[in-house]
Amino acid sequence: MSGGKSFFQPDNYKAEVGKDFKRITLYLCTTEDLNSSEEVTYSKYESPSSPEGVFNNEDLPDDLQNQICSDEEVARELQNQLDSEAQLSPDDVVHVSEEESPLSTLGETLRKPEDVIVKLRSEVDNDSIDNFFLVIRRGISLSRLLALWRWQEKRTPVTKVVRIRIIGENGIDSGAIAKEILETSITNIEQVMFPDGFPVDSTLHVQNGNYHTAGEISA
């Protein structure tokens, strides 16, 4: 933000004001729009020659003016990069075949979807008696399930075998209940967070880790 020495980050802003993200509203606008729509009073740098309610950069000390100019240059450069990426034509996109672009992870090459399943299965810890255990209600909402998953992840590594107990139903999960709940959850994730096969444009899902948790559930 103008006058600061560090780049603006929502986490730092949240810590500074001491409020939850849901209680913070940020507005982005140009200096011209700000000056024409709001009466901003800067008593510390108020200039008698400036119209009341109009903020003038010339009223600021030289170091703050330089910082504002530097911040504006960084913002314009980032915006130009975003604009150039958004204007890529279909001719700029390089298409390669599956054999030409294998996915490599931890020294291994994944060429087929089946290789991904095999890789994920090898990461599951079947040796320990400790399981990734969830107690839920049938018909639980997706947001509640994601929250419970993140809470349990703080206690048990997510690489453990998933076991689920449904409140009000007897029985020990030997894999079938977990499979049923995970399949239902993945369907809900697709409908809520990835409609039409694309992730929804939601800063909430990014900030609270919903996308990360959805990936773990799918894996």
44, pLDDT greater than 60 = no
189, pLDDT greater than 90 = yes
Distances (CA, A) of 22 to 11, 17, 35, 46, 128: 13, 13, 27, 34, 40
Top pLDDT among 65 and 163 is at: 163
SS3 content of the chain, % helix, strand, coil (to 5): 50, 10, 40
Query: Rounded to whole angstroms, how far apart are CA atoms 43 and 80?
Result: 35
What pLDDT score does 53 carry?
A: 47
Residue 208 neighbours by CB under 8 Å, 6+ apart: none
Q: How many CA atoms lie less than 13 Å away from 177 in the CB half-sphere?
A: 18
The rounded mean pLDDT for the chain is: 75
113, pLDDT greater than 60 = yes
Q: How many CB atoms lie within 10 A of CB 162?
A: 22
Pair of tokens at residue 11: 């986490």
Query: Rounded to whole angstroms, how far apart are CA atoms 56 and 202?
Result: 35
β-pairing, 132-136 vs 162-166, is parallel
